[in-house]
Chain A
Amino acid sequence: MIFVALLIAFPVGWTIYLSLTDASGSVRAPSDFIGLGNYAEVLTDTDRFWPAVGRTVFFTGGALFFEMTIGMCIALLLWRPFRGQKWVRVAILLPLVATPVAVGMMWRLILEPNIGFANQALAWVGIPAQPWLSGQATALPTLMFIDVWQWTPMVVLILLAGLSSLSDEPDEAARIDGANAWQRFWYVTFPLLMPVFITAILLRGIDALKTFDILYATKGKGGGSFNEAETLNIYAYGLAFDFNDYGMSSAVLILFFMMITGCIWLLTASKKRTNR
């Protein structure tokens, strides 16, 4: 117990301390306490920091929206038992457990502008080739798509667990009252599912904010040559391990951490309201 607490408290404490120093260069180099200097520098940095914040929010928001919508549809599709259900579940489990780095590499080939299958398929239906990951404007939406591909199954599984814990009676009652399928879903099932739905947003949102592997595997350091896919996590990583600027990196991380905690606080507050 104390061990677990230490595991968490210690690195956080150390990060806070580092964020107040100018630690950089070698890890053995002496560092000075500079107060909130790093924070001032980070918060006024409109070149890298604020765009990274924007990209993080955009990426997470977009990915979450599609994952929750598609995930809800698939969960409803799988809800009632049918033959072959087990195999469909295995199929959607596979992307989820696949190593993110390998998934990134796989999509890199499929989305390769010249030899990738994606552009070939587009050519068959007469749509011009897209730059996908290599385009400055298309990189982030493409990465969002990869994230949706890999993590929608997670949402499906959570929502399915939620759906199967619901009792059939409210649904039956609405059916007898003459509600159609959409009404039954929107006014009966969905509100009942709301707590689970928010939990899914919470879990998925936390992980999406922290996405690192597929970004690094497809775009490399700094999110590509124009930093077009640089989120806060990638930025902080780059500061620490490419530029060895541990102080700055820690400041970014603390701000990032505060952002995540803020979002969670908002969500749990709204969850409490729906429970009431």
Chain B
Amino acid sequence: MTATLTDQQTTAAPLTLAPAPRPRRKPRAYSVFRATMLVVVVLMFLAPLVWMFLASLKTTIDIYNPAAAFVFTPTLANYETVFGRANYLQYIFNSFWVGFASTGLSLILGIPAAYSMSRFVMRKSAALVLMARIIPGVSLLVPWYFIFANLRMVGGFEVLILSHMFVALPLIVFIMMSFFESLPLELEEQGQVDGLTPIGAFLRIALPLSVPGIATAGILSFIFSWNNFMFALVLSGSATKTLPVAIFDFVAYASIDWGGLMAAAVVITVPIMIIALFAQKYIVSGLTAGATKG
């Protein structure tokens, strides 16, 4: 009995690449169970987002009407409010500008830093980068606010970009470090044998090879900047407001314009979701960078 079972198992083992799972009993029942669970999981994560999108297409009356939960006449009026009265084009531009500028500058500073840390072994520096993750944002914000308020710079783009760089830089250094460490050192040594300076080896060999790593770091840093709320809340002025701060315009004390609010939320999240759709691989590798090395 046990002998036949083991036999079956050993013959089944080479088939592990096939899509079907491979428990011993009731494989059929298991795959049905698994498929059901997967659907439940996907629904759990997607349903709220779908609901947000539906609500953004409803009139206020329909939002208040339970019977119109799924069947209603869609309207774009909320989006007209968002782009018209609420002046969202300006805020979208602000968010993009701050995101691109802080990401770009951080990449320029962060890539060489990460390279030197990974190549000229600086163990302590890795711990420092981790420290940057631990410090609560508010404790960075208070000193900066002091300085920039004294310089009368609060409300300008410079301060906002600079503050987002404080988040982006450690992130980029961290991701790029783990990427550079995975590059074979021999290639650069070969380059140096062939007469390249260390800087030349970095520019001509390591840098072109690390394009995927740079993409990962850049995309993540942009997303973090786009989503950042706390720094922008304190440091932005009415002209430099980014999207997460601007959404509060829809939340008045007495009443909330739910349709407008949801349309604004959709406008904020859609660009990021499009990036996520196309750059899934990079985002995942960036978020899990260093996690498996222990």
Contact = CB atoms under 8 A, between A and B. Distances in A.
Contact of A1 (B113, B144, B233): B113
24 contacts: A5-B128, A14-B143, A18-B146, A28-B149, A90-B280, A93-B276, A93-B284, A97-B273, A97-B275, A99-B268, A102-B265, A107-B48, A115-B64, A117-B51, A117-B69, A161-B291, A161-B292, A175-B9, A176-B9, A210-B136, A233-B136, A237-B141, A240-B138, A241-B145
B291 A196 contact: yes
Given A106-B49, A117-B51, A257-B134, A89 B284 contact: yes
A165 B145 CA distance: 44
**Chain A to chain B: the 5 pairs with minimum beta-carbon distance, closest first:** A14-B143, A102-B265, A253-B139, A101-B244, A161-B288
Contact of B49 (A12, A80, A95, A200): A95
B246 to A, nearest CB: 10
Contacts of B21: 80, 82
B185 interface: no
Chain B interface bracket (under 10, 10 to 19, 20 to 34, 35 or more): 35 or more
Contacts of B266: 102
- Please classify the interface of chain A as helix (H, G, I), strand (E, B), loop, or mixed, using the class held by over half of its residues: helix
B63 A115 contact: yes
Given A15-B139, A210-B137, A213-B229, A109 B294 contact: no
B51 A88 contact: no
Contacts of A203: 291
A218 to B, nearest CB: 10
Interface stretch (A32-40, A60-68, A133-141, A152-160): A152-160
Nearest to A260: B134
Contacts, number: 255
Given A102-B244, A253-B138, 15 more contacts: A1-B125, A4-B170, A88-B41, A94-B45, A94-B273, A97-B272, A99-B269, A102-B269, A106-B48, A106-B52, A161-B288, A196-B291, A196-B292, A200-B291, A216-B230
Interface in A1-38: 1, 3-5, 7-8, 10-12, 14-15, 18, 27-28
A126 interface: no
A275 interface: yes
Interface string A232-249: 110011001100001001
A100 B227 contact: yes
Interface in A66-107: 74, 77-78, 80-83, 86, 88-103, 105-107
A157 B223 contact: no
B19 interface: yes
B268 A12 contact: no
